[in-house]
Amino acid sequence: MTTIDTDPDTGLDPLEFAVTRNLAAKSNADRDAILANPGFGQSFTDHMVDICWSVRGGWHRPRVSPYGPISLDPAAAVLHYGQEIFEGIKAYRHADGSVHTFRPDQNGRRLQRSARRLALPELPVPYFLQSLRELIAVDGAWVPSGDDQSLYLRPFMFAKEAFLGVRPAHKVAYYLIASPAGAYFKGGVQPVSIWLSEDYSRAGKGGTGAAKTGGNYAASLLPQSEAYENECDQVVFLDQDRNVEELGGMNVVFVYKDGTIVTPQSDSILEGITRDSLLQLARDRGHHVVGRNVSLDEWREGVASGDIVEVFACGTAAVVTPIGVLKGKDFIDEQPTGTLALELREELTNIQYGRAEDKHGWLYRLDA
Ligand SMILES: Cc1ncc(COP(=O)(O)O)c(C=O)c1O
């Protein structure tokens, strides 16, 4: 077990994880073969973490176990009513071999906000952080060291109570799994083409748009298929007033010619940690940063007039992706390309991989 002190903010003692080693763990050679070309979300490490929660017992039975199938009662509420949330966060190997993650407290808090919206229990942030460290303690060798490679960590929580009544479940499971991830862009960052979803929305006022819950992603799959049919990489969603929300899995940022940076802000958008960090780096450079509504008309007119000089998307998986084209049912707008998006990308990844000073204290060491 990793030794962790009582959390000074919450007074919570660390959990005592029961660790069962995977006797069928991959050999070094097999693991190295996977790490040489990991792709995304295809291979998983040798272990997983889980913690149970019940109304009566609170958080209990923390475990590290061999990675493998989960046994669920067919009546488990998640299978019927989708009471589920998740997170996405990466572990990076630095040149000295140490393993770090980036702003995990923010992911822990976002998981709590998602839990609140989905009527799930809030996992204390110290337990969330400890779960990451416990998994790295046994699977640290799975953090790749190649350029732009990382170990993608996927914490998730779901209603496992076997009960078909519609109410918040009394039994819940928190899990953490991990999957090595290769460079998102091979041969340099490429601008993406974006399909404007006009027939489908991702979120509604008072809905679950700001939560990281499976249903939002399920609802984005049909419009995402429409994007592919229209030869676009990603889909962008509007709200009921035709304001820009976000892509299926990334936030959107606009750069104006006076240097102002504007990003949609509303209760129906997932608050991206990548976006928050990039905007902080932009502020550090003297940019004025504004969160407000951006209508589709403002976007299209701004690009046509030259007021908007760059548009990019951002999220944990791809970090930053310039938007090259916006395509709708009856228009194709080429997007202006600038240098800021890629400069901020470089600055952020340099911090994440330990190549630049971490002035904001964003890194969190996982293997010590
Ligand atoms: C819908 C959605 N918006 C935005 C983001 C970006 O969030 P983050 O930067 O925290 O990865 C993600 C990715 O997690 C997402 O799924």
Task: Please state the atom number of ligand 1 nearest to the C-alpha of residue 277.
Answer: 9
Domain 18-183 identical in fold to domain 192-352: no
User: Would you say 289 and 282 are in contact if contact means Cβ atoms under 8 Å apart?
Assistant: yes
Architecture of the 192-352 domain: Alpha-Beta Barrel (3.20)
Whole-number pLDDT of residue 7: 81
* Tokens matching residue 311: 């548009």
Query: Which residue has 């030794």 as its token pair?
Result: 3
Instruction: Give residue 315 CA to ligand 1 midpoint distance, Å.
Output: 5
Q: Which of 40, 184, 202, 270 to mutate to test the pocket of ligand 1 (most atoms within 8 A of CB)?
A: 270
Residue nearest (by alpha carbon) to ligand 1 atom 15:
249
Average per-residue pLDDT for the chain? 96
Q: Which of 250, 314, 321 to mutate to test the pocket of ligand 1 (most atoms within 8 A of CB)?
A: 250
Whole-number pLDDT of residue 226: 97
Measured torsion, CA atoms of residues 276, 278, 281, 283, in degrees rounded to the nearest 10 = -60
**Ligand 1 neighbours (beta carbon < 6 A):** 88, 246, 249-251, 270, 272-275, 315-316
HSE-CB for 29 with a 13 A CA cutoff: 0
User: Would you say 65 and 48 are in contact if contact means Cβ atoms under 8 Å apart?
Assistant: yes
Residue nearest (by alpha carbon) to ligand 1 atom 16:
249
Residue type at 88? G
Q: Is the pLDDT of residue 2 over 50?
A: no
Average pLDDT over residues 74-98: 98
Report the 10 Å Cβ neighbour count for 101: 24
The CATH number that domain 18-183 falls under is: 3.30.470.10
- The DSSP annotation for 55-124 comes to TTTEEEEEEEEES-PPP--TTBTHHHH--EEE--EEEEE-TTS-EEEE-HHHHHHHHHHHHHHTT-PPPP
Q: Which of 251, 263, 352, 362 to mutate to test the pocket of ligand 1 (most atoms within 8 A of CB)?
A: 251
Residue type at 163? F
Instruction: Give residue 1 CA to ligand 1 midpoint distance, Å.
Output: 31
Instruction: Give residue 89 CA to ligand 1 midpoint distance, Å.
Output: 10
* Tokens matching residue 271: 């608050």
Task: Please state the atom number of ligand 1 nearest to the C-alpha of residue 251.
Answer: 4
Instruction: Give residue 258 CA to ligand 1 midpoint distance, Å.
Output: 27
Q: Which of 316, 319, 321 to mutate to test the pocket of ligand 1 (most atoms within 8 A of CB)?
A: 316
Using a pLDDT cut of 90, give the percent of the chain over it: 93
Task: Compute the distance between CA of residue 304 and CA of residue 341 in angstroms, rounded to an integer.
Answer: 20
- The DSSP annotation for 145-167 comes to -STT-EEEEEEEEEE--B--SSS
- pLDDT tens digits, one per residue of 193-229: 999 999 999 988 999 999 999 999 999 999 999 999 9
HSE-CB for 150 with a 13 A CA cutoff: 22
Task: Please state the atom number of ligand 1 nearest to the C-alpha of residue 107.
Answer: 10
Whole-number pLDDT of residue 29: 98
Residue nearest (by alpha carbon) to ligand 1 atom 1:
249
Task: Please state the atom number of ligand 1 nearest to the C-alpha of residue 106.
Answer: 10
With cut-offs at 50, 70 and 90, classify the pLDDT of residue 1: very low
Instruction: Give residue 270 CA to ligand 1 midpoint distance, Å.
Output: 6
Q: Residue 91 forms beta bridges with which residues?
A: 101, 151
Distance, C-alpha 266 to centroid of its chain: 18
Residue type at 270? L
With cut-offs at 50, 70 and 90, classify the pLDDT of residue 137: very high
Task: Please state the atom number of ligand 1 nearest to the C-alpha of residue 317.
Answer: 11
Residue nearest (by alpha carbon) to ligand 1 atom 7:
272
Task: Compute the distance between CA of residue 93 and CA of residue 166 in angstroms, rounded to an integer.
Answer: 44
Task: Compute the distance between CA of residue 235 and CA of residue 222 in angstroms, rounded to an integer.
Answer: 10
83-99 burial string, b = 16+ CB within 10 Å, else e? bbbbbbbbbbbbeeebb
Task: Please state the atom number of ligand 1 nearest to the C-alpha of residue 88.
Answer: 14
User: Would you say 317 and 184 are in contact if contact means Cβ atoms under 8 Å apart?
Assistant: yes
Q: Is the pLDDT of residue 187 over 80?
A: no
Instruction: Give residue 240 CA to ligand 1 midpoint distance, Å.
Output: 21
Cα separations in angstroms, 121 against 54, 115, 173, 176, 244: 9, 6, 10, 16, 31
Task: Compute the distance between CA of residue 18 and CA of residue 62 in angstroms, rounded to an integer.
Answer: 6
Q: DSSP assignment, residue 77?
A: T
Whole-number pLDDT of residue 4: 58
Widest pairwise Cα distance in the chain: 63
Task: Please state the atom number of ligand 1 nearest to the C-alpha of residue 89.
Answer: 11
The domains of the chain are located at 18-183, 192-352
Whole-number pLDDT of residue 217: 96
Contacts for 119 with CB less than 8 Å, ≥ 6 apart: 83, 168
Task: Please state the atom number of ligand 1 nearest to the C-alpha of residue 275.
Answer: 9
- pLDDT tens digits, one per residue of 98-121: 999 999 999 999 999 999 999 999
